């Protein structure tokens, strides 16, 4: 199962959900098995079933919520 760590930036002055709410939105994706939210570093650690297409959907959901993605790192578990 792939794991990714996503560092996000919340745009200043934008009406976007909090980081915990963002984690909840990502958890709703059917292939996501776990999301850990690190509010101190604005980091989401996501475990999911799938490959590049599912990762792109995760990233798309984050951007749709109004966040910018600063960096993504990959780790195979």
Answer with the residue of higher pLDDT: 77 or 76: 76
* DSSP letters for 1-47: -EEEEEEEEPPTT-----HHHHHHHHHTSTTEEEEEEETTTTEEEEE
Q: Dihedral angle at the C-alpha atoms of 28, 7, 63, 55, nearest 10 degrees?
A: -60
Model confidence pTM above 0.95 = no
Query: Closest Cα partner for 11 from 52, 51, 69?
Result: 69
What does the longest C-alpha to C-alpha distance in the chain come to? 37
Give the domains, in start order, of the chain with CATH numbers.
2-76 (3.30.70.100)
Is the pLDDT reported for residue 15 higher than 60?
A: yes
| Share above pLDDT 90 across residues of the chain, in percent, rounded to a whole number | 78
List pLDDT tens digits, range 25-71. Answer: 999 999 999 999 997 889 999 999 999 999 999 999 999 999 999 99
Is the pLDDT reported for residue 76 higher than 70?
A: no
């Amino acid at each position: 199962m792939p794991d990714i760590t996503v560092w996000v930036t919340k745009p200043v002055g934008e009406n976007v959900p909090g980081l915990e709410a963002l984690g909840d939105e990502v958890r709703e994706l059917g292939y996501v098995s776990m999301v850990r939210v690190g509010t101190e570093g604005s980091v989401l650690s996501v475990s999911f079933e799938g490959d590049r297409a599912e990762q792109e959907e995760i990233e798309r959901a984050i951007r749709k919520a109004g966040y910018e993605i600063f960096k993504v790192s990959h780790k195979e578990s």
